[in-house]
Amino acid sequence: MTRRKVAVTPRARKPLTMYVCGVTPYDSGHMGHAFTFVIFDVLVRFLEAGGKRVKYVQNITDVDDPLFERARRDGVDWRDLADRETKVHLRDMTVLGWRPPDKMPKVSEEIARILGAAAKLKSSRHAYHSDNLYFDASSYRGYGRLSHRTRRSMIRKLREEELLGAVGPSAKRDALDFPLWRRSRDGEPAWPSRFGNGRPGWHIECSAMAMRYLGPQIDIHGGGRDLIFSHHESERAQSESLTGKAPFARAWVHTGMVRYNGRKMSKSLGNLVKVSQALQRAPAAAVRLYLVSHRYRRDWDFQWSGLARAARFIERMRKLLADDARSKGPKKPAGRALMTEFNRALADDLDTPRAVRALRSAVRQKDAAAVLAMQAVLLGTASLT
Ligand SMILES: [Zn+2]
């Protein structure tokens, strides 16, 4: 939030808590998603390799506008679409060798908690009811500080994302207010509540799930960079208004966008590279290595030549490990200088490209023990073949 690195030290004996905004299951399985979730997987594995305990929650946003729009357009039931795309996400991440989150709550199974949070905001006058129940953004000091945006820039982003909605006596009072509970349209799920039959707004879903599973304050909150505004800005405002405790998240970690042919990958532009397509050309470990060869906070361009280079390196690494496994005699411990460099790289704001260079050095020096230790963190359980 300060655009600076912060040290996150878990409180004594308690696990470090991490919440990452998961997929809205309607276009799962592309490289942009894989990049985000592999980066957070490296973070979890690095912390755990260092002896820390991590409690990791990643949600499934199965109640959200883009999902319903897609279901309507394709003439399918939103539940079927969500189930299918959630399976794609889990399949991809399993192949990419992640350490699964400890809990993956689905919004559709958390409605009571979400409603409870919305009602509490209403009774503490952070929310008001007109056509929908809205959060009053002006009731929270510092709305806009997480994303470093002016009021005008926030409104512009809301308009771009078609989240602006209507302002007026029978709608929201101010352009920055956002729905906590809203009426459902045809084909959308509706749950009964004292604010009318309807469904939750997007932001309150994550606040309620993060707090249910990780408590009022969490150590690390992550997601793609496109979520900083309005999603995380709003989550922070609601959560701190609900609990009176600040900060809601001690550190915010946002991953960059993956482009293809110069533009952000998105289904609407038709330039998605699917994880399944990449896996047809390279082993899972190579796909993962290619992803983590990029700095997490920067945007980057997916290139097939980069994936091919990663695959050639993985093959060299596989041969080294196979030779080492066959060789008799005592195994040498991992070289200390190599491991120090590797751990320093990841401790320095998760500098994965530098950690990949350490892995390359370990392969060049034929240090199989160091390669294995680095592989476990960077590549997880992704297959080398
Ligand atoms: Zn979220």
Record the tokens describing residue 162, joined without a space.
Answer: 């078609």
Record the tokens describing residue 246, joined without a space.
Answer: 């600040």
**Does any domain span residue 241?**
yes
> Distance between CA 262 and CA 259 in Å, rounded?
6
Position 216 pLDDT exceeds 90: yes
**Does any domain span residue 267?**
no
Do 337 and 204 have their domain in common? no
Ligand 1 centroid–CA 233 distance in Å is 10
Ligand 1 centroid–CA 305 distance in Å is 33
pLDDT of residue 27: 84
Do 327 and 207 have their domain in common? no
Helix (H), strand (E) at residue 64: none
Do 20 and 162 have their domain in common? yes
**Does any domain span residue 271?**
no
**How many Å is the Cα radius of gyration of the chain?**
22
Position 229 pLDDT exceeds 60: yes
Position 356 pLDDT exceeds 80: yes
> Distance between CA 250 and CA 347 in Å, rounded?
17
Do 231 and 328 have their domain in common? no
Q: Angle at CA 37, nearest 5°, toward 255 and 179?
A: 70
How confident is residue 1, by pLDDT bands cut at 50, 70 and 90?
low
Cis peptide before 192 (omega within 30 of 0): no
**Does any domain span residue 117?**
yes
pLDDT of residue 189: 93
Ligand 1 centroid–CA 202 distance in Å is 8
**Does any domain span residue 6?**
no
**Does any domain span residue 356?**
yes
The answer to whether 220 and 247 are in contact (CB under 8 A) is no
Residues in the chain: 385
Ligand 1 centroid–CA 61 distance in Å is 8
How confident is residue 130, by pLDDT bands cut at 50, 70 and 90?
very high
For residue 129, what is the domain's CATH number?
Answer: 3.40.50.620
Ligand 1 centroid–CA 342 distance in Å is 31
**Average pLDDT score over residue span 270-295:** 96
Using a pLDDT cut of 70, give the percent of the chain over it. 97
Cis peptide before 193 (omega within 30 of 0): no
Do 78 and 153 have their domain in common? yes
Q: Helix (H, G, I), strand (E, B), or coil: what is residue 324?
A: helix
Do 83 and 129 have their domain in common? yes
> Distance between CA 208 and CA 292 in Å, rounded?
31
Ligand 1 centroid–CA 167 distance in Å is 25
Position 292 pLDDT exceeds 80: yes
Q: In the chain, at which residue ranges do the beta strands (DSSP E only) sit?
A: 16-20, 54-58, 127-129, 133-135, 178-183, 198-200, 218-224, 249-255, 258-260, 263-264, 300-301
Ligand 1 centroid–CA 40 distance in Å is 15
* 15 Cβ contact partners less than 8 Å away, ≥ 6 residues apart: 52, 53, 54, 55
> Distance between CA 92 and CA 255 in Å, rounded?
19
How many folded domains does the chain comprise?
A: 2
Do 239 and 286 have their domain in common? no
Helix (H), strand (E) at residue 171: none
> Distance between CA 8 and CA 177 in Å, rounded?
31
Do 156 and 196 have their domain in common? yes
Q: Which residues, listed in sequence order, are joined to residue 258 by a DSSP beta bridge? A: 300
**Does any domain span residue 296?**
no
> Distance between CA 242 and CA 236 in Å, rounded?
10
Ligand 1 centroid–CA 12 distance in Å is 27
Please name the residue that has the structure tokens 């491991």. Answer: 339
**Does any domain span residue 59?**
yes
Do 23 and 117 have their domain in common? yes
Ligand 1 centroid–CA 213 distance in Å is 14
Ligand 1 centroid–CA 59 distance in Å is 7
Q: What is the mean pLDDT of the chain?
A: 95
Ligand 1 centroid–CA 280 distance in Å is 31
Do 109 and 42 have their domain in common? yes
The answer to whether 144 and 151 are in contact (CB under 8 A) is yes
Neighbours of ion ligand 1 (CB under 5 A): 21, 206
Ligand 1 centroid–CA 206 distance in Å is 5
Do 201 and 55 have their domain in common? yes
ipTM of this complex prediction, to 2 decimal places: 0.98
Ligand 1 centroid–CA 231 distance in Å is 6
> Distance between CA 346 and CA 46 in Å, rounded?
7
Helix (H), strand (E) at residue 193: none
Ligand 1 centroid–CA 248 distance in Å is 13
pLDDT of residue 266: 75
**Average pLDDT score over residue span 253-278:** 90
Domain hosting residue 143, numbered range: 16-259
Do 124 and 30 have their domain in common? yes
For residue 307, what is the domain's CATH number?
Answer: 1.20.120
Ligand 1 centroid–CA 303 distance in Å is 29
Ligand 1 centroid–CA 333 distance in Å is 42
Ligand 1 centroid–CA 307 distance in Å is 30
Ligand 1 centroid–CA 359 distance in Å is 33
Q: Which residues of 135-153 are buried (b: 16+ CB within 10 A; e: fewer)?
A: bbbebbeebbebbebeeee
Angle between helices 352-364 and 336-347 (to 10 degrees): 170
Ligand 1 centroid–CA 133 distance in Å is 19
Q: Helix (H, G, I), strand (E, B), or coil: what is residue 58?
A: strand
